[in-house]
Amino acid sequence: MTTATAPELDMGHVFTEDLFQSGNANDPIGALDDLVERARVMDSHKVDFTEPAATLQMDDAFLLRVGNVAPMPLRDSAEMQMYGRLGPVAFGSGTKKALPADYLRVLPPNIRATAVNHHLGQAKKDWFIRTYKGGCRAILHDGFTDISNLELLELVQEGVAARPTQDMALVRPYLSPDSLNLRVLYKNVGGVDPRTGQREWGWGTIISNGETGDHKIKVMPFIQRGSCTNSTVVNTDESVEFIHKGSRELKLLAIMKAIQESLKVGAEVLQRMIAAHSEPVPDFEDVLAGLARKYGWDKNTGSAVAVGTHGDRTIGGIVDGVTEAAWRTRVGDAQTEMEMVGGEILQASPDFFNRMGQYGRGARLGL
């Protein structure tokens, strides 16, 4: 028997370098228009289905069959989602167990298909299946609230059009068929800092989304105050954060309001703060342990910092963790001092994080 090989998925990622080579490096409105157009092109390759799971089948090449649609390969993450959704079918309602992926994935495709089809035939629920260019990118519950990257970009367009300024910039926008991370920054338009006589207030808005069940919808205004060399404060009072479940209309209204409100308030957010969220930190846990050792954080503070990163393993994530831990574990001057630590970390050189990683490894090994 000849076993067919599933074709590789074309994920169509768009990176900052591609976007700004279009000639819009100094034209953020044009760059935003580029993103909208790219999202439209991506959406033209997307097709969604809501089908009873029991009607789905995996063929002998382990390609997914949905009705009369051509068999499609599963992205790795979609395959994991399928095993997760079949867990309650195999192990009983309410279980958090999934089908054993490590075992299933070493089986020949036709045998794996037979095992999976056995459980698919017993499934009782409908599934929401998302595809891109003929490949399955996600297998979700049928109550998934679809709010697309394109819709969010168009809402941002409306918000920006309502408040045009020469000082707007897009900082490292990221768009893929599955996710959006857009940072809109307004510069040099806030009040004057009485300490320096300079405009050291600014604001920016981060809009992020995931279409495949792995990211929440977020609209977060960022506010920065003080010297760019030693302090940072992130104010998320205007933030909204949603899972993809519930009333689509209410979510869109709340998102639109959040974008409009966040573009009205604040002052200059350091581009460094935003860029830091795109700079991954190797040996992340060791670096956190090194920072705790360097700054003398107790276990409660160290845990608050780790929780405050919200899984963002970047320099910006660490800064967020420190500033969140400041208000969770400190008051008065002690809170301000810890916020200053956030600013110090934000401005640190790459060598600093290497040293913190070594410091943390030493602490773990008792050195």
Residue predicted with more confidence, 162 or 330: 330
For 64-113, what is each residue's pLDDT tens digit?
Answer: 999 889 999 999 999 999 999 999 999 999 999 999 999 999 999 999 99
Do 218 and 250 share a domain, yes or no? yes
The Cα–Cα gap between 114 and 293 comes to 53
Do 38 and 51 share a domain, yes or no? no
Supply the pLDDT for residue 2: 32
pTM > 0.85: yes or no: no
Residue predicted with more confidence, 331 or 15: 331
The Cα–Cα gap between 71 and 194 comes to 65
- Using the predicted structure, report yes or no on whether residue 19 has a pLDDT greater than 50: no
For the chain, how are helix, strand and coil distributed in percent, rounded to 5? Answer: 45, 20, 40
Task: Output phi, psi for 119, to 5 deg.
Answer: -80, -35
Supply the pLDDT for residue 14: 39
SS3 state at 180: strand
Please check whether residue 11 lies inside any domain of the structure.
no
Residue predicted with more confidence, 224 or 339: 339
Residue 253's CB is within 10 A of a number of other CB atoms, namely 11
Do 162 and 255 share a domain, yes or no? yes
What number is the average pLDDT over the span 192-201? 48
Dihedral class, residue 366 (left if φ above 0, else alpha if ψ from -120 to 50, else beta): left
8 Å CB contact between 116 and 82? yes
Angle formed by the axes of helices 299-308 and 315-329, to 10°?
A: 130
Please check whether residue 349 lies inside any domain of the structure.
yes
Final residue in a domain of this structure, among 222, 250, 276: 276
Q: What is the mean pLDDT of the chain?
A: 79
For residue 71, what are its two tokens? 């068999």
Q: Specify the amino acid at residue 35.
A: L
Please check whether residue 288 lies inside any domain of the structure.
yes
CA distances from 291 to 24, 329, 344 (A): 40, 16, 11
Do 254 and 182 share a domain, yes or no? yes
SS3 state at 215: coil
Dihedral class, residue 72 (left if φ above 0, else alpha if ψ from -120 to 50, else beta): beta
Do 28 and 154 share a domain, yes or no? yes
Torsion of Cα atoms, 103 then 139 then 93 then 108, to 10°: -20
Residue 281's CB is within 10 A of a number of other CB atoms, namely 23
Supply the pLDDT for residue 47: 95
Q: Residue 363 burial by CB count (10 A; 0-12/13-18/19+): exposed, middle or buried?
A: middle
Question: Angle at the Cα of 46 (from 41 to 47), degrees rounded to 5?
Answer: 150
8 Å CB contact between 1 and 110? yes
How much of the chain exceeds pLDDT 70, in percent?
A: 73
Do 110 and 26 share a domain, yes or no? no
Supply the pLDDT for residue 60: 97
Supply the pLDDT for residue 183: 72
The Cα–Cα gap between 43 and 52 comes to 24
Best CA proximity match to 351, nearest among 361, 359, 363, 340:
359
Do 96 and 164 share a domain, yes or no? no
pLDDT confidence of 342, banded at 50, 70, 90?
A: confident
Supply the pLDDT for residue 286: 94
Supply the pLDDT for residue 264: 58
For 22-53, what is each residue's pLDDT tens digit?
Answer: 345 567 778 888 999 999 999 999 999 999 99
> Can you list the positions of beta strands (E) in 224-361?
240-242
Final residue in a domain of this structure, among 98, 113, 141: 141
Supply the pLDDT for residue 62: 97
- Using the predicted structure, report yes or no on whether residue 296 has a pLDDT greater than 60: yes
How much of the chain exceeds pLDDT 90, in percent?
A: 43
Please check whether residue 180 lies inside any domain of the structure.
yes
Report the relative pairing of strands 46-52 and 240-242 from DSSP bridges. unpaired
Bridge partner list, 314: 280
What number is the average pLDDT over the span 328-333? 68
The Cα–Cα gap between 131 and 146 comes to 13
Lowest mean pLDDT of 8-12, 166-170, 245-249, name the range: 8-12
Q: How many domains does the chain have?
A: 3
The Cα–Cα gap between 234 and 237 comes to 9
Please check whether residue 161 lies inside any domain of the structure.
yes
Final residue in a domain of this structure, among 252, 276, 300: 276
8 Å CB contact between 126 and 52? yes
Supply the pLDDT for residue 90: 96
For the chain, the C-alpha Rg in angstroms (whole number) is: 24
8 Å CB contact between 288 and 318? yes
Do 52 and 103 share a domain, yes or no? yes
Supply the pLDDT for residue 198: 53
Which residue range(s) make up the domain with 132?
46-141
Supply the pLDDT for residue 21: 37
Please check whether residue 197 lies inside any domain of the structure.
yes
For 123-147, what is each residue's pLDDT tens digit?
Answer: 999 999 999 999 999 999 999 989 9
Do 106 and 248 share a domain, yes or no? no
- Using the predicted structure, report yes or no on whether residue 122 has a pLDDT greater than 90: yes
For 201-223, what is each residue's pLDDT tens digit?
Answer: 456 677 889 999 988 888 876 65
Please check whether residue 9 lies inside any domain of the structure.
no
Please check whether residue 10 lies inside any domain of the structure.
no
Do 269 and 290 share a domain, yes or no? no
For 226-274, what is each residue's pLDDT tens digit?
Answer: 333 233 434 345 567 778 888 888 888 888 777 776 655 544 445 566 6
Do 28 and 161 share a domain, yes or no? yes
CA distances from 237 to 62, 250, 284, 304, 357 (A): 47, 19, 28, 19, 33
> Can you list the positions of beta strands (E) in the chain?
46-52, 57-58, 64-65, 126-132, 135-141, 168-170, 174-175, 179-186, 203-210, 217-223, 240-242
Do 57 and 132 share a domain, yes or no? yes
